[in-house]
Amino acid sequence: MNRTRTPKHFDKIVAFYRAHRRMPSHAEVAGIAGLRSKGSTYKLVNRLVDLGLVQRDEKGKLLPGSRFMNLPQLGTVEAGWPSPAEEELLDTMSLEEFLIERPDNTFILKVQGDSMIGAGIMPGDMVLVERGVREKDGDIIIAEVDREWTMKYYRRKNGKVWLEAANSKYKPIYPRQELRIAAVVRAVIRKY
């Protein structure tokens, strides 16, 4: 396998392209690469062109190569070998997969009230909750109290169960009858 390392300054050129949404001029390439001579700059660009990392248009200005579109942090492989990027990405997950572990049991709820402010959950926030799972001491849960959903810490010690707010304004709730716990909070989402 004839494997060549990506020239040192290529990543910086990509970063420039991302930041400015255009390719740098030769003078800017010189600045990026810390080269003083026009000749060395030209040599560097030629090398990038030969590797197919950048292209030149008719006027000699730089155009982005295909590698500008993905997230290239890997070496380049010359002809005949597939880009390893695909396989590497198998070990990543989407934000949805990250937030939602059990899609068939997950519901969303809009937070009302300030009882969980101490846990960083604000009124209007979206919480992702799982139905049909067992709650543990310390979980933030959704329980049914007086025909309404309420979000609190679930506490259980020595066989005693109570609900606790994350706000000193509210007293703990010691349920007299059976406590109906509907769901366990798994994530909070706030969009700005």
The residues carrying an active-site annotation are 115, 152
CA angle 66-67-71, nearest 5°?
Answer: 135
Size of the chain in residues: 192
Q: Does 128 bind other proteins (CB under 8 A)?
A: yes
Cβ 73 to other proteins shortest distance, Å? 30
Q: Please name the residues in contact with 174: beta carbons below 8 A apart, sequence gap of 6 or more.
A: 162
Residue 45 or residue 129: which is nearer to other proteins going by CB?
A: 129
Residue 78 or residue 144: which is nearer to other proteins going by CB?
A: 144
Q: Does 32 bind other proteins (CB under 8 A)?
A: no
* 188 bridge partner residues: 127
Q: Does 126 bind other proteins (CB under 8 A)?
A: yes
Both structure tokens of 160: 């005693």
Count of CA atoms in the C-beta half-sphere (13 A) of 177: 5
Residue 55 or residue 105: which is nearer to other proteins going by CB?
A: 105
Q: Does 122 bind other proteins (CB under 8 A)?
A: no
Residue 5 or residue 176: which is nearer to other proteins going by CB?
A: 176
Query: Which stretch in 27-35, 55-63, 65-73, 126-134 sits in contact with other proteins by CB under 8 A?
Result: 126-134
Residue 47 or residue 131: which is nearer to other proteins going by CB?
A: 131
Q: Does 184 bind other proteins (CB under 8 A)?
A: no
Q: Does 97 bind other proteins (CB under 8 A)?
A: no
Sign of the Cα torsion 101, 106, 111, 117 reads negative
Both structure tokens of 51: 């590797």
One residue of 148, 159, 168, 169 binding other proteins per CB under 8 A: 148
Give Cα separations from 34 to 7, 10, 27, 42 (angstroms).
14, 13, 10, 13
Both structure tokens of 154: 């679930």
Q: Which of 83, 187, 184, 190 is nearest to 142 (CA)?
A: 184
Q: Does 178 bind other proteins (CB under 8 A)?
A: no
Q: Does 107 bind other proteins (CB under 8 A)?
A: yes
DSSP type of residue 5: P
Contacting residues toward other proteins, per CB under 8 A: 100, 103-110, 124, 126, 128-129, 131-132, 142, 144, 147-149, 180, 182-183, 191-192
